[in-house]
Chain A
Amino acid sequence: MERRNARPTREIVVPGDVLDETGMKPGENAYVQDGKVRASVTGVRNVFQNTVGVIPLKGCYMPKSGDTVIGVINDIGPSNWMVDINAPYPAPLHVSEVPWKVEFGDTSKYLGIGNVVIIKILSVDESRKIQVTMKDSGLRRITGGRVVTIPCSKVSRVIGKSGTMISMLKNMTDCRITVGQNGRIWIDGDDENCDVAAEAIAMIESKAQSGNLTDAVKDFIGSRLPQNEYGYQEE
């Protein structure tokens, strides 16, 4: 078993590449043809339990029910707003899904084009019609700070195992950071700290495949904002 699976860890594969011929089951982004498991996207070969699949290196955000995302209002109708959530599909936000009582035709008084909102995906049907809401706790319009966008395949790296990376980022930079599943991240705090947080996130994005990333990022922030290091607690 060991010798047959002597393939490099973190091997880059492209669509059509054979991932396994020993009878493993296809995982994410893989399919079976003639008894062979093949990749269906460009990414890193990934073995998980008895399946083999691919972690994509690129790819757009596909909305899933329950996701919290950061969106931008890009159109207004008399009883809804259209939200750009960085996905191939538009997300309509209906007046019944916001915390205000909005009269028909008054929508622009509450949210305007270009406003940034934190919303949640309620449902996605088979033809990818999406429904979103802004009525849960933590969901609202946001202003100030800045929004950075990373590929959604890197979002889990920014959050880290059990949230270790994101907690460390927040503590060390003393910024509020909200990570949207759609790859958009809102950073709010004092200007210089926000700059460092944004750079730290860019660092995670470019080095997402490496080991010891948490330490490297911690060192980076420590070197830029030394005064925060004393307040940091090890998880």
Chain B
Amino acid sequence: MSVEMMSEIKRDHMMKLIEAGTREDGRGLADVRKIEVETGLIESADGSAKVKIGKTVVMAGVKIIPGTPFPDTPNIGVLTTGAELIPMAHPSFESGPPGEDAIELARVVDRGIRESGMVDVEALCIVPGEEVWMCFVDIYAINHDGNLFDAANLAAVCALKDATIPGEQYGKGENKPLPITCTPISITEAKIGNHLIVDPNFDEEQISSARLTVTTDDNGNFRAMQKGGRGSITLDELSQCLDRAVEKGIEIRKIIG
């Protein structure tokens, strides 16, 4: 199978639908696809989650290991986020080390988690100045049908919420849940023509000029944002995205519990 080329017929048809306020799968412009979350599915991981948003599927796993702290923060645990867009997820993905898309994805997810203080890193100290818990979050896109940002964020967040510090494995006390303080949720919108659509699928991303991802915490405060794509966003559009990010964030927090 070749990579299905975005034909002008398809592009025209999609634009027509969006102008009329609807999308190919029947959603309204502000509707998010069906979200399914499964946690704890990988025992070898200290925390894991598989998230589906529509047909997009992303897995995340957490490994917590004792290590040395950074010299400037001797009593604080370390959090690292990585992502891979593995070739099985889409015919256009190639093998190889993470490219700029995977790196951007990992850094945006990381920012949302770090800036919200989701993981209580001060509680991860083992021996002050010498040893702390290091938390590695690794994200794998398994099937790409658009909006990897939100699926990856949700998978990472759910995997962290599912995680247990493996004290017993390393002789450093009892196992206990990773201390979590909040649930940062990202909402991504794509700009197509003069319209913004929430949770774009793959085809919609192909015809969009810009993308905005906004991450909020449980209080509706903003923790991270990233604009992507070669197009631009107006101030009014920005305002609309911020409102929707808070509103949809609340909906999604309810789904994952």
List chain A positions with a Cβ less than 8 A from chain B.
Answer: 60, 72-74, 84-88, 114-116, 142-147, 149, 186
14 A-B pairs (CB sep. < 8 Å): A72-B5, A84-B4, A86-B1, A114-B5, A114-B7, A116-B7, A116-B8, A143-B8, A144-B12, A145-B9, A146-B10, A146-B13, A147-B9, A186-B9
Complex Cα distance, B6 from A73, in Å, reads 10
Q: Give the interface size bracket for B toward A.
A: 10 to 19
Complex Cα distance, B6 from A84, in Å, reads 10
Asked if A149 and B5 sit within 8 Å, CB to CB, the answer is no
Asked if A114 and B2 sit within 8 Å, CB to CB, the answer is no
B195 sits at the interface (CB 8 A): no
Q: CB within 8 A of A147: which of B1, B2, B3, B10?
A: B10
Complex Cα distance, B6 from A116, in Å, reads 10
Q: CB within 8 A of B7: which of A60, A72, A85, A88?
A: A72
Which chain A residues border B9 with CB–CB below 8 Å?
A: 116, 142-147, 186
Which chain A residues border B12 with CB–CB below 8 Å?
A: 143-144
Complex Cα distance, B4 from A88, in Å, reads 11
Which chain A residues border B172 with CB–CB below 8 Å?
A: none
Interface residues of B in 1-51 (CB under 8 A from A): 1-13
Which chain B residues border A145 with CB–CB below 8 Å?
A: 9
Which chain A residues border B5 with CB–CB below 8 Å?
A: 72-74, 84, 114
Closest B residue by C-beta to A186? B9
Which chain B residues border A84 with CB–CB below 8 Å?
A: 2-5
Asked if B11 and A114 sit within 8 Å, CB to CB, the answer is yes
A231 to chain B, nearest CB (A): 26
Asked if A60 and B4 sit within 8 Å, CB to CB, the answer is no
Interface residues of B in 176-210 (CB under 8 A from A): none
Closest A residue by C-beta to B17? A191
List chain B positions with a Cβ less than 8 A from chain A.
Answer: 1-13
B118 to chain A, nearest CB (A): 42
Closest A residue by C-beta to B16? A191
Asked if A87 and B8 sit within 8 Å, CB to CB, the answer is no
A71 to chain B, nearest CB (A): 9
Which chain B residues border A114 with CB–CB below 8 Å?
A: 5-8, 11
Q: CB within 8 A of A86: which of B2, B6, B10?
A: B2
Complex Cα distance, B236 from A158, in Å, reads 48
Which chain B residues border A73 with CB–CB below 8 Å?
A: 5
**Besides A84-B5, A142-B9, A147-B10, 8 new A-B residue pairs in contact (Cβ under 8 A), listed by A number:** A84-B3, A86-B4, A114-B6, A114-B7, A114-B11, A116-B9, A144-B12, A146-B9
Which chain A residues border B1 with CB–CB below 8 Å?
A: 60, 86, 88
Which chain A residues border B7 with CB–CB below 8 Å?
A: 72, 114-116, 147
Closest B residue by C-beta to A194? B13
Which chain B residues border A144 with CB–CB below 8 Å?
A: 9, 12
Asked if A88 and B8 sit within 8 Å, CB to CB, the answer is no
Which chain A residues border B6 with CB–CB below 8 Å?
A: 114
Max chain B CB contacts within 10 Å: which of A60, A116, A149?
A116
Closest A residue by C-beta to B1? A60
Closest A residue by C-beta to B11? A114
Asked if B2 and A88 sit within 8 Å, CB to CB, the answer is yes
A132 to chain B, nearest CB (A): 15
Complex Cα distance, B1 from A54, in Å, reads 21
Max chain A CB contacts within 10 Å: which of B1, B4, B5, B7?
B7
Asked if A149 and B11 sit within 8 Å, CB to CB, the answer is no
B222 to chain A, nearest CB (A): 37
Closest A residue by C-beta to B24? A146
Max chain B CB contacts within 10 Å: which of A72, A74, A86, A143?
A72
Which chain A residues border B2 with CB–CB below 8 Å?
A: 84-88
A144 to chain B, nearest CB (A): 7
B106 to chain A, nearest CB (A): 30
B12 to chain A, nearest CB (A): 7
Max chain A CB contacts within 10 Å: which of B4, B5, B8, B9?
B9
B4 to chain A, nearest CB (A): 7
Complex Cα distance, B7 from A87, in Å, reads 16
Complex Cα distance, B1 from A10, in Å, reads 26
- List the 8 closest A-B pairs by CB distance, nearest first: A72-B5, A114-B8, A72-B7, A84-B5, A74-B5, A116-B7, A146-B13, A116-B9
Closest B residue by C-beta to A90? B2
Asked if B8 and A149 sit within 8 Å, CB to CB, the answer is no
Complex Cα distance, B12 from A116, in Å, reads 12
